[in-house]
């Protein structure tokens, strides 16, 4: 699955960092916290690795 916006890609990256133990779960908020709780590490890697060239800043 590909990220649909730069904001989604960034949130997935933060959630992935928490899954890997690089940051604390308590530091997450909003979409990244929800992603952390509901998505697997593989799903988060797919979203976070999306190239952000041409993506909108936020999904409309």
Buried b (16+ CB within 10 A) or exposed e, 3-17: bebbbbbbbbbbbbb
Structure confidence by residue, pLDDT tens digits, 8-31? 999 999 999 999 999 999 999 999
Structure confidence by residue, pLDDT tens digits, 35-57? 999 999 999 999 899 887 888 88
Closest-CA residue to 29 (of 18, 21, 39, 40): 18
pLDDT of residue 53: 83
pLDDT of residue 56: 83
- Whether this prediction's pTM lies above 0.85 is answered by yes
Radius of gyration over every alpha carbon of the chain, rounded to an integer in angstroms = 11
């Amino acid at each position: 699955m590909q990220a649909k916006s730069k904001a989604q890609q960034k949130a997935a990256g933060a959630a992935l960092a928490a899954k890997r133990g690089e940051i604390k779960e308590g530091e997450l908020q909003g979409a990244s916290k929800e992603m952390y709780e509901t998505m697997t590490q593989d799903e988060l890697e797919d979203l976070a690795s999306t190239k952000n060239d041409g993506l909108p800043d936020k999904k409309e």
